[in-house]
Chain A
Amino acid sequence: METESAFPVVIAEKALHTLVCALQKAGYRVIGPILRDQAIVYDELDSVADLPQGWTDEQQPGSYRLKKRTDQALFGYTVGPHSWKKFLHPPHLRLWSVSRSGNEVRFSHDKTPIQKYAFLGVRSCELHAMAIQDKVFLQAGHEDAGYHQRRNDSFIIALNCGEAGGTCFCTSMKTGPQATSGFDLALTELLSADRHEFLVEISSQIGANLMHDVASREASAEDLATAANILARTAENMGRHLDTKGLKERLQDNPEHPRWDEVAARCLGCSNCTMVCPTCFCTSVEDTADLAGETAERWRRWDSCFNSEFSYIHGGSIRSSVKSRYRQWLTHKLAHWIDQFGSSGCVGCGRCISWCPTGIDITEEAAAIGSTAPPPEDTS
């Protein structure tokens, strides 16, 4: 992404349609929020008409409900169960296939054309999540070539959040709500009784080129102030808060805190939190062969540290208790990640809270562990 900045412009709601058409014409599969199975998920858009206009979501620990809005906002909701990782880091991917004839072995090359994606409506927390996954998959010397290509080819239209959800805490993680980098275009939805427009920030040459075909006017100081007010209001309405000061040490220094037992009693080990998390990257490979043993394939699929087989070595699983698996997940996400990749693995999107079937709240657990010294050992 080049970093040519242009002055922000304002486009009419209807002009979003022109933008999506321009992307499709340029060969992009446009992915955005759509309404399906009573949730707002990410999938291919045929047109802007597929966006969940006039809908919002209400999120609480273990609860996600859609509701009609009183207005016609196109992006009047927060994040749902999907994240963009399902496109950049696909849940199920063939890594290679190989055939064998006697002792001769030959790899066959995948000729599936690479699909270019345009992502519409990427929140600031999600931009941060992408940057975090970049550090995992683009490590010097061990680059995931497929990920690199999908990522480089993607066109990103960010969205400054006009609403904060009940489980959101991006302000705690310093990942939002304003999109500050990592996008081609960034939208702020300006909606009131007498207007429905978008403020558009342009931060790449490709973005600028696409905007040539879209009717726009220069943004006024008033437009910019309105957008800033929207972001300020969103930042003030976070449903959750996480105190990150000293959190890494609190978690790493308390592997035997009694709270781990308490949370383990509520955790089903279902792995929902890791599936909806936009940064969780763990995978397993599956090697398969045809019955004759002549062709074989390697597939990679998302896995989770909540599955007991995840830590299997001959003889058994290292982390056989749910307590140890929850401890692994939380400590990795909020503490070890900093040692490994230089930032927290949490972006404060709140998905793991909303989609936990028993409503376990990461902010509550993190605050409880190490916030007070564990009780002294019984010496009687």
Chain B
Amino acid sequence: MLPRFLPVQRRIRETADVLSLIAEPPEGEKLPVFLPGQFNMLYAFGVGEVPISISGDPGERGRLVHTIRDVGAVSHALLQLKRNEPLGIRGPFGKPWPLDQARGADILLIAGGIGLAPLRPVIYHLLAQRHSYGRIALLYGARSPADLLYHRELERWRRVPDFQVRVTVDHAGRDWLGDVGVVTRLLPKINLDPADTVVMLCGPEIMIRFSTQALLDMGMNTQQLYVSMERNMQCATGSCGHCQFGPHFICKDGPVFRYDRVEALLKRDEI
């Protein structure tokens, strides 16, 4: 499957090592529809290809947004792309967040670090179709205040009535007036009906392990929780073998899984 090349239109610096790249198709060409939680394979010319979740608004059809952290050779090369330079894209791939099944329920989003990026399309969707869902909440944890993504939007979301937004950081200076500590400590501060809440989690596996345990302790069951997983991916179509997680191919059976399908696997090391 060949990548399609789209020119980069804008680069938005999010933090010291994270940028969002906005690509737009040429006049008259369309972008494929994507669902929140899906990802694309992004190709930097001659350097390589990596899976990156789509972080833009699913309702906005004219542009494609990816938020990328500079962690290796390919992501570094992608972040060097200048305006109008070609970005290779294959996708979208993977199973999305369960937004249809979650209609009518309270929604809790728990994000850690760059894990907010695949949840941002969910937030856009929830805010656009606010009447279809119950109470909504976002718990977001980052290493430090300087590592928080989407600053301005976070501020905007905080002001949305009936959208509970809580942010915490692992460590902060004196100028930080918000919460400090792990995201699970924010759970008692939000107002949701645990019996009728769908939770979507994305972040480091250690965060997922502790958060899911805290949610189960609150009386939720494993079928209310959805997690997005990350593994090495090369083909994105279930034939290169790299992303296997027990019986699952994360690229096509995931990246979003209902928690009961991966719970036992997440509790083992090196699966």
Contact = CB atoms under 8 A, between A and B. Distances in A.
A150 to B, nearest CB: 15
B239 A142 contact: yes
A144 B239 CA distance: 9
Classify chain A's interface size.
Answer: 35 or more
A321 to B, nearest CB: 6
Contacts of A252: 246-247
B27 to A, nearest CB: 15
A303 interface: yes
A281 interface: yes
B71 A314 contact: yes
Interface in B200-216: none
B46 A288 contact: yes
B85 to A, nearest CB: 6
Contacts of B235: 283, 285
Contact of B271 (A100, A255, A290, A315): A255
B244 A336 contact: yes
B48 interface: yes
Contact of A314 (B7, B43, B72, B244): B72
Nearest to B265: A255
Given A137-B239, A310-B242, A289 B47 contact: yes
A328 B234 contact: no
Given A313-B230, A318-B270, A293 B240 contact: no
Contacts of B241: 281-283, 303, 305, 310
A105 B81 CA distance: 14
Interface residues of B, number: 37
Contact of B244 (A100, A136, A288, A332): A332
Given A105-B5, A142-B238, A287-B43, 13 more contacts: A96-B2, A103-B86, A136-B238, A137-B239, A252-B247, A283-B239, A296-B46, A310-B242, A314-B75, A319-B270, A324-B269, A328-B244, A328-B271
A285 B45 contact: no
29 contacts: A103-B84, A105-B86, A105-B88, A136-B239, A137-B239, A139-B237, A142-B252, A252-B247, A282-B240, A282-B241, A283-B240, A287-B43, A287-B46, A303-B242, A305-B241, A310-B241, A313-B231, A313-B232, A315-B71, A318-B231, A318-B232, A323-B270, A324-B269, A324-B270, A324-B271, A336-B244, A336-B246, A340-B238, A340-B249
A312 B232 contact: yes
Nearest to A283: B240
B156 interface: no
Given A255-B271, A282-B242, A100 B45 contact: yes
B234 A284 contact: yes
B49 interface: yes
Contacts of A303: 240-242
A284 B2 CA distance: 16
Contacts of B270: 318-321, 323-324
Nearest to A292: B46
A255 B72 contact: no
Interface in A298-355: 303, 305, 310-315, 318-321, 323-324, 328, 332, 335-336, 339-340
B268 interface: yes
Contacts of A136: 238-239
A139 B238 contact: yes
Contacts of B240: 282-285, 303
A340 B5 CA distance: 32
A318 B269 CA distance: 8
Nearest to B249: A340
A98 B72 CA distance: 23
Those 7 A-B pairs whose CB atoms lie nearest each other, nearest first: A289-B46, A282-B241, A324-B270, A339-B247, A142-B237, A296-B46, A314-B71
A283 B243 CA distance: 11
A18 to B, nearest CB: 39
B250 to A, nearest CB: 11
Nearest to B86: A105
Contacts of A310: 232, 241-242
Interface in A268-285: 281-285
Interface string B17-45: 00000000000000000000000000101
B121 to A, nearest CB: 22
Contacts of B45: 98, 100, 105, 289, 293, 296
A315 B242 CA distance: 16
Contacts of A323: 270
**Which residue of A104, A142, A303 has the most chain B CB atoms within 10 A of its CB atom?**
A142
Contacts of B88: 105
A356 B249 CA distance: 27
A139 B1 CA distance: 14
A314 B269 CA distance: 17
A328 B269 CA distance: 12
Contacts of B234: 283-285
**Which residue of B88, B242, B271 has the most chain A CB atoms within 10 A of its CB atom?**
B242
A302 to B, nearest CB: 10
A336 B247 contact: yes
**Which residue of B43, B45, B48, B88 has the most chain A CB atoms within 10 A of its CB atom?**
B45
Nearest to A309: B232
Interface string B233-269: 0110111111010110100100000000000000011
A137 B231 CA distance: 21
